[in-house]
Chain A
């Protein structure tokens, strides 16, 4: 898909190695594990918690032109839903090819109903999605 997932924490690359080798749930991990010692990158994205020196659960999608298209941040105690992340990613790919369209909340994949924002759509979203 021409995309790379990069996981990021303030741990060193050595700890990443140890964790990935030790934790059976990570045996199939293929993505690069980034080391953000000191939290510089986490601060750039506004997810660094000064009180704990840790990064919050932030997810950011950047397109190949370097534009930030999605941002989602969860507190420590709430995990992310990978299906929702993939939905947003697929929608971004679709929208890049179809610039006049918009993907509504129920959009899951190509072929699902989209909206075309225009004068005609104002007040008629319900009908457009029927």
Chain B
């Protein structure tokens, strides 16, 4: 395995310490019949080589929109990248097009999706699809391609790879398909792998297998991963750093340990507190009141203020900037910023909404 990877490793060593991906002030909107939806709003983050960055958030928070923006896989219209830059090894992906974008998509950045049932084409064998992916991006011919394909299937832990390669996707279970998808994504030695809810459709025991596989591959191949999920526990297990998104904005980011042990944003605190824990028994679960806002009618100011137990006057009017704590632990919340007494007046008379 290592021989194939060698070139990649030296490249990475040359580029040591520099960021692999830098997203700066990304703005992306969907233009729908109902109006403009700001799916990604002023999002900035970095991914270092070999690092696993988790993006966590609920449906419609923009986590998938971020990943699709990076790969420029958004259908336009209705989607439009309206600002910011996505620097991948210094190249701005927002400004790339055509052949050069295609090269980056398969060669350097690969993606795996949530639905292993629909992301494989049912009329081609696993081998055909894998071989096609390899041919597109690598100068291999004939027998070598097939061997490489078998090697990839073995790498992702598919038993009897040399026989299985000629089977059609419907013969595969969900977990096997996700393995095949990962094999396909990794077949071109990407530097960055974007995994969008890769285990959400899978059962717990299969999820454990896939997470184990991804951790193992990350160590062996040193691929950077952007791991998108709504499941906090999966993030806790997988990620080195975590971005918490709410309503298109990053509300908190930091190392996984800081974030889970010392969450700063009320939303992060609520998310962590509302999950029943396997270790601590609680009589009653904490909860975040209200529901995720309708993207067409985003509340002004900080989008979380209608649900926030600490909401203040200022929260309704203005989105706070980011405050940086130790260890690149950033949070966007007025609680951590200077404000006048008047601005700090609580929005609700009693904080009863959250405590009930």
A binds B: no
